[in-house]
Amino acid sequence: MKIAIIGAGAAGCFAAANIAAQPGDEVIVFEKAAKALQKVKVSGGGRCNVTHACFDIPELLSRYPRGKQLLRKTLYQFGPRDTINWFEQRGLKLKAEADGRMFPITDDSQSIIDTIWNEMMKQGVQLRYHKAVEKIDKEAGGFTINFADKSSYRADKVLIATGGFPKAEQYKWIQELGHRIQEPVPSLFTFNIPKHPVTALMGLSVANAAVKITGTKIAEQGPLLITHWGMSGPVILRCSAWAARELHARNYDFQVQVNWLGDVKEEELRMQIHDLRRETGKQKVVHKNPFELPKRLWEYLTTECGISDEMRWGDMPAAQQNKLITHMLRDVYEVKGKTTFKEEFVTCGGVSINEVNAQTMESRVVPGLYFAGEILEVDGITGGYNFQHAWSSGWVASRAIIS
């Protein structure tokens, strides 16, 4: 049997390594770029956030803004524990960090690439680079894949694992097979806040900020990083994932509200300030930062509230106290645009999962055609979840193809 895999990313290569474990099959991976597993190489700052140490599947499902219907089937067949075991059985141990993200014990994404690559080579997988697909023809008993360089390949079964495309027209050759495409829009991006004084604090991080996108129910809590263009960090990326379609519809022109103290409520903060005024009333506000905030951020907030360097806690007028509370708990920023977060670009949208059998990853429209990875309308928040989807869907597809 001749099996063609289109796309040499995480899902495609992982599927290839597992499909080829069956003797007698010819497995060829076609990749339009010059290298395989490029996203794996750069992900996680070059360390590769392979998966997440979340072994409760219902809890794991809550980390995916879209695609739960399919993931309910794939994650139970091949979840994070299976990912850990797969790599360990091939000599590479993974480790969990405090936040649950899992990396190779080497802290080097090349270890992940080498492990998958070695398995592919051991199984006799062939790779062909600079092979961009223009059209796939479904014929009696198989498929003919036509490439941009005018060459073609005849396959019995085809697995599409190209990753997500940013533009709808890039899915044309898949639509021609009869599949519906959910409009692709970006996910996992940072927020641009141009010409705002807060950007002078670039490089500063707050360990536990709460961020809400105004006009929506979307609110997240976690580390926030101030950059020279605006805001980044896990809490911002999570907001961008959950609000991907909403923010696209707004043309990335919206407001965010930041609680710099995380889950601290106004009544609690007022009590703290009341005690401060009584106990340290003679101390200067700027120099007495009683909250777990970075010094530069505290100075910025007091400046924004018009608090002079000489003002003491005991002398602060009620109006300025109220203003300080508002800035600490409900600081509003106008976002004007987005920036792709390093290598973490993920597409929201893709091939409709209603047209894919989640038990096998086979097309419900075209028998013998399979899908895996980000080409599907499945995406997770940052933290190893998108790679886990790649491994899970790639493994499920591989089992079905060789069964």
pLDDT in tens, 132-167: 999 999 999 999 999 999 999 999 999 999 999 988
Candidates 228, 246, 259, 242; CA nearest to 339 is: 228
Contact 321, 288 (CB under 8 A): no
The DSSP bridge partners found for residue 232 are 225
The distance of Cα 344 from the centroid of its chain, to the nearest Å, equals 6
pLDDT by residue (tens digit) across 95-124? 999 999 999 999 999 999 999 999 999 999
The mean per-residue pLDDT over the stretch 383-403 comes to 97
**Which CATH number does 2-186+348-402 carry?**
3.50.50.60
Give the pLDDT confidence score for residue 20 in this predicted structure: 77
As a whole number of angstroms, the distance between CA 326 and CA 174 comes to 51
Location of each CATH 3.50.50.60 domain in the chain: 2-186+348-402
pTM comes to: 0.94
Give the pLDDT confidence score for residue 250 in this predicted structure: 98
- Among 21-25, 286-290, 358-362, name the most confident range: 358-362
Kindly tell me if the per-residue pLDDT of 342 is higher than 70: no
The DSSP bridge partners found for residue 89 are none
| Sign, CA torsion 197/203/207/211 | positive
The mean per-residue pLDDT over the stretch 244-249 comes to 97
Contact 179, 193 (CB under 8 A): no
Backbone angles phi, psi at 358, to 5 degrees: -65, -20
DSSP string, 211-250: EEETTSS-EEEEEEEE-SSEEESHHHHHHHHHTHHHHHHT
As a whole number of angstroms, the distance between CA 148 and CA 212 comes to 45
Neighbours of 166 (CB within 10 A): 12
- What is the gyration radius of the CA atoms in the chain, in angstroms? 25
Give the pLDDT confidence score for residue 167 in this predicted structure: 87
The mean per-residue pLDDT over the stretch 10-38 comes to 93
As a whole number of angstroms, the distance between CA 70 and CA 381 comes to 16
Contact 104, 92 (CB under 8 A): yes
Amino acid at position 25, single letter: D
By the 10 Å C-beta count (0-12 exposed, 13-18 middle, 19+ buried), 141 is classed as exposed
Q: For tokens 């199984």, what's the residue? A: 123
Kindly tell me if the per-residue pLDDT of 241 is higher than 80: yes
By the 10 Å C-beta count (0-12 exposed, 13-18 middle, 19+ buried), 311 is classed as middle
Q: Provide the 3-class DSSP secondary structure of residue 339.
A: strand
CA geometry: angle at 397 spanning 393 and 399, to 5°?
Answer: 120
As a whole number of angstroms, the distance between CA 99 and CA 7 comes to 31
Give the pLDDT confidence score for residue 22 in this predicted structure: 74
Give the pLDDT confidence score for residue 345 in this predicted structure: 75
The mean per-residue pLDDT over the stretch 273-282 comes to 92
Give the pLDDT confidence score for residue 75 in this predicted structure: 99
Amino acid at position 10, single letter: A
Write down the mean pLDDT value for the chain: 96
Q: Provide the 3-class DSSP secondary structure of residue 197.
A: helix
Query: Do strands 26-30 and 2-6 pair parallel, antiparallel, or not at all (unpaired)?
Result: parallel
Token duo for residue 246: 């909403």
Q: Where does the pLDDT of residue 343 fall: very low under 50, low under 70, confident under 90, or very high at 90 and above? A: low
Sequence-distant (≥ 6) Cβ neighbours of residue 389 within 8 angstroms? 11, 64, 67, 71, 74, 373, 374, 378, 379, 380
Token duo for residue 247: 């923010």
DSSP string, 152-195: EEEESEEEE-----SSGGGGHHHHTTT--EEEEEEESEEEE-TT
Kindly tell me if the per-residue pLDDT of 21 is higher than 80: no
Bigger pLDDT: 20 vs 297: 297
As a whole number of angstroms, the distance between CA 380 and CA 245 comes to 14
pLDDT by residue (tens digit) across 193-221? 999 999 999 999 999 999 999 999 999 99
Backbone angles phi, psi at 319, to 5 degrees: -60, -40
What end-to-end distance do the CA atoms of the chain give, in Å?
12
Give the pLDDT confidence score for residue 344 in this predicted structure: 60
Candidates 371, 9, 349; CA nearest to 167 is: 349
Question: How large a percentage of the chain has pLDDT more than 70?
Answer: 99
